[in-house]
Amino acid sequence: MRLLHVVSSPADGSPCDQNCQGAAIDLSNSGRLSEIGERAILDALTQRRDADAVYGDIEISGVVERRAAWSPTRLLAEPGACLPLAVRCTTLAELGCTATDPALVLRLVEHDSLVLHVPAVLSRHPQPPECADVADINSHLAEIGIAATAVEGDQAGRFRLVPDPSEQPPVSIIIPTAGKSLGEAATDPNAARGDELAVERCLERIAATGRPNLEVILIVGEEYQGDPERIASAGLPIRLERRPPGEFNFSAACNQGILAARNELVLLLNDDTELDPGAVDAMAVHFGDPSIGGVGALLRYPDGTIQHAGMIMDNAHPLHPFVGWSIEDSQRYGGTVARDVISVTGACFMSRRSLLLALGAMSTHFPLSFNDVDLCLKIRRSGHRVIVEPAATLVHRESFSRVAEIFDWEWDRWIDRWGEVPDPWYHPDYRRPDDPENLRLNADHLEPTDPRDHCDPRDTTIKGHLHRPRISHHLT
Amino acid sequence: MPQQHVTPEGPDPIDSTDPDELRAEILRLRDLSIGMTSHAEVLGERLADLQTRNEQLDSAVNELNDLNQALHVELGRSPLIRIARAVARRLKLR
C-alpha cells in the first residue's frame, strides 16, 4: 500500500472512490502525523492485508498516551481510545462512512472489522480528536444487543453504562466454601462478629442487593466448619451441593456448580467477597453482546484500595495492576473503564454456562492457582472476549482462606500449557521491575522505563509461545 | 503434586455409572484437549527454536572446519615444516 489520504474536514472526507487501494485518516483540528506515522500505517496495512484499519499511540499537547490493542468494550466507555484511525478506503466504502465520521470506530465494531494497533506515536494533536458522543454510543448499544444506556462518566470523553432495569437475566451464583469464620481474618477491620462465617456475610450482601432472578449454589465439602444447612436459608434461593470426598480442588468445585446451575449466566464467586448493589447487573448486561465470553469486576480490599481491576501478562506472569491504589488514582490509566483484558480473577467471574461446558470449564489441572487465567485464555482462544467491568464492585478479603503461594509444580504446568502469551492490551513499553522480590509490587508497571517505538502492528490473537524467562519465577 | 492421569491399575472414571462423575470427566477431557493443543504450539515453537540453534551450531562447526583446514595449509607452507619434510625425503633416498 502506498497511498494515505490525510483528511482534515468533513468536506474532504471522501477523497477517493471505492476502488482506491489506499487508506484515509482524519487529522482535523491541526493534527499531524509523526515522523514515522505514515510509514508505520502503510507498512501495517501492507503486512496485514486482512486488516481494515490501524491506529497507534498519540501525543496530545506534548503528552504521550500509550494505548492498548483493539477493545470494542473500551470504545463504549472511551470512544476516543483509538483515534485517529487510518481505515482502508475499501472498508470505508463498504461501511458507507467517511474518515471524518466520529462514529466510524463504532461502525468498525459492528462490522466485526480487524483493527491493528501500532505501539508507537503515530500522530500529534493540540487537543483530543473529536469522538463519538453519547447518542452515537446509545445507538451502537442497541445495534450490538446491550440493554443499557450510556451516561457521562468520571472524566470528559468517558461514559458508563446504566443497565436497563427491566432486563435482569437469571444468574446462577456458584460459591465454593469451606465455611471459615471472618474471625480468622485477623487483619479484617470490618469483622465485627468474629464467629460470623465469611460465606454468611457473602450471602447477606447478595440478598441485600435485592436483585431478582438469582440462584445461589453453595459447594461444600467435608472440611466445612459447621452446619451448611443453617446458611441454606439466608433469604435466597440457595442449593447445597456436596463435594465428593478428597483433597480440595477449587476448579473441580466450581465445575460441580457449573454443571448444577440452571441458568445460562453463571457467576463464580469466592465466599470471602461482599458484592455491592448493582454488581451482578453491571456484569450481566454485557452478555447481550454474543462476542462476550467472560466478565470480571473491580475488587477492593476491605480498606477500599484496589485488589483487582483486570489482569496483565508480563513475561508469562499473570499480574494485577493497580494493587493497593485508590480507585481515583487508577482513573489516569483507565482503571475505571470497562475494557478488554487478557484475564480477570476467578474470585468474581461471570460467563455463559454453555461456553464454559464446551471449553471444559475450570481446568482441574490447576486446582488452586492459574485456573482463572487459564480459563480466560481458553475463552479468548474460542473467539470470545474477556472484559473487566469496573462498575461492578465488591470487597474481597484476598486469599484470606488460603496462603497466597504458587508452587513450582503449578508454575511448571502453567508454562507447559501456555508458555508465554503476549498480552495485546499491555503496552510493550511497560515492564514490571526485574526484581524477584518485588513481583507483587506490580502497580508501577504503567509508567514506561525505556520508551521506544515498536512498529510491529499487533492484533488481539492469543497464542502460546516459548517462554524465555527474564528472572526467577517465584512469586514471593 | 496431585495425581492427574488415570493409572492402568486405577478405575477409569469413564466407566463410572455416576452421571456427575461422568460429566466431570467429560469436562476434564475437553480441558485436556484444549491444553494439549496449546502445549503443542509451545512445543512447536521450542522445536523451531532448537532447529535454529542447531543450524547456528552447524554453521559454527563449518566455520571451525574451514579455519582448521586453512591452518593446516598455512602450517604446510611454514619454512620449518618445509625443511623438515625435505630432510625426511633425503633420508628416505639414502
Burial A446-475 (b: 16+ CB within 10 A, else e): beeeebebbeebbebebbbbbbeeeeebeb
Q: Does A454 touch chain B (CB under 8 A)?
A: no
What tens digit of pLDDT does each residue of A35-94 get? 999 999 999 999 999 999 999 999 999 999 999 999 999 999 999 999 999 999 999 999
**CB proximity B1 to A under 8 Å:** yes
CB contact under 8 A, B4 and A359: no
Say yes or no for a CB contact (<8 Å) between B42 and A363.
no
Q: Kindly report the pTM of this predicted structure.
A: 0.88
By Cβ distance, the residue of B1, B38, B49 closest to A409 is: B1
A368, closest residue in chain B (CA to CA): B2
**Which tens digits make up the pLDDT trace of A244-286?**
888 889 999 999 999 999 999 999 999 999 999 999 999 999 9
Give the separation between CA A44 and CA A308, rounded to whole angstroms. Answer: 34
Q: How far is A27 from chain B (nearest CA, A)?
A: 41
Q: Residue with C-alpha cell 492484533? A: A459
CA gap A389, A283 in Å, rounded: 6
Give the lowest-confidence range in A10-24, A299-313, B1-15: B1-15
For chain B, the first-to-last Cα distance in angstroms comes to 81
Distance from C-alpha of A297 to C-alpha of A328, rounded to nearest angstrom: 16
Residues of A in contact with B4 (CB under 8 A): 364-365
**Domain spans of chain B?**
6-93
Rounded to a whole number, what is the largest CA-CA distance in chain B? 99
So what's the pLDDT on residue A192?
Answer: 47
**Cell 479468548 sits at which residue?**
A380
What does each C-alpha distance from A65 to A107, A298, A321, A427, A470 come to in angstroms?
Answer: 24, 23, 18, 11, 27
Percentage of residues of chain A with pLDDT beyond 70 = 89
Cα A397 from Cα A401, distance rounded (Å): 8
Q: Give the type of residue at A318.
A: P
Residue A370 gets the label, from left (phi > 0), alpha (psi -120 to 50) or beta, of left
Domains of chain A by start residue, with CATH: 4-161 (3.90.550.10), 171-418 (3.90.550.10)
